Amino acid sequence: MEFSAEQIASLLHGEIEGTASAVVNTLAKIEEAKKGALSFLANPKYEEHIYNTESTICIVNKSFLPSKELPSTLTLIRVDDAYSCFAKLLEMYNNLKKKAPQREEPSFVDKSAQLGESLFLGAFSYIGQFSNIGNNVVIMQNSTIGDNVEIGDNTVIHPNVTIYHDCKIGKNCIIHAGSVIGSDGFGFAPNDQGEFQKVPQIGNVIVEDDVEIGANCAIDRATMGSTIIRKGVKIDNLCQIAHNVDVGTNSAMAAQVGIAGSAKIGERVMIGGQAGISGHLHIANDTKIVAQSGIPSTVKKAETLMGSPGIPLEDFKKSYFGFRKLPFILNKLNELENELKEFRKNQK
């Protein structure tokens, strides 16, 4: 599908600098783009590429001032925020590629399940008893939707996703390949013989609207009640969220984050990759947790934390500076001990 600079500028409320009739049919990074591609420049680190790019159209900020001559074949579209505008185009492009309504075979849908309009159901997928699937939902190949599951309108379930019984998925969600929603929480109690006895996990998982869950994540069902992923949360690949966790609105976590049972994560919390959060604690709204940090106790006010256990970022930097000087300090200490021994020897 082709779009002209004039059409793109109209969509983005941008200003054209160059040929309004210039046409593109693909999207590309500015350093890799070829003729017919639409690219963007938002980060000044990549400015050098705009002077030799083969892009036909490039979206730039209105504040961009070229320091050298631009290619004669390049048309600019100036906007207030090049990054967000390009993201908007990517979303539109992605929607154009969305699967057309279809039910591939073989697949299984229980007779008691309710299916909305314009469903795409991939081959070898399963929808269980009394499940309720909204309109314009995409369920890709080899996915399993358990009994009494609810999935809201416009949600996309990628291949090999498993959603256990009684879980609820909101509208406009995306769940990527291999993720498991509603597996049992890690609930075991030792008996008199020291053997672990399983505690039944009878709750569910609630994923609210506009949530995106990456590939190969595990979100455990609650022991009782619900594990809740609230509106607008973004979860990267390979994350583990344990039973009865509550992740607040518009929070985000990078890959390999682990959150232990019953932790309550506030709103707009940002968690770096491989961070670990202990159970039964609260994280204040707007907290930032640096990658590989460990949070063992409640965070009562918003701050940036780093280290294990996590401490305020500036304190961590000071501590790390001292840690780097430890070899020097130890050498000095050894020298002082030797001098002290020599001094004592001479006093005898």
Catalytic sites, residue numbers:
243
CA distances from 96 to 23, 89, 161 (A): 18, 11, 23
Tokens of 325: 């000087």
Which residue has tokens 């840690």? 323
Query: Which amino acid would we find at residue 99?
Result: K
Strand 138-139 and strand 120-121: the pairing is parallel
Which residue has tokens 């291949």? 159
Query: Cα–Cα distance between 158 and 145 in angstroms, integer?
Result: 12
Q: Are 242 and 186 in contact (CB under 8 A)?
A: yes
Residues contacting 302, CB < 8 A, separation 6+: 284, 285, 286, 287
Query: Cα–Cα distance between 5 and 23 in angstroms, integer?
Result: 6
Phi, psi of 210, deg, nearest 5: 65, 30
Query: Which amino acid would we find at residue 60?
Result: V
Query: Which amino acid would we find at residue 191?
Result: N
Q: Are 39 and 53 in contact (CB under 8 A)?
A: yes
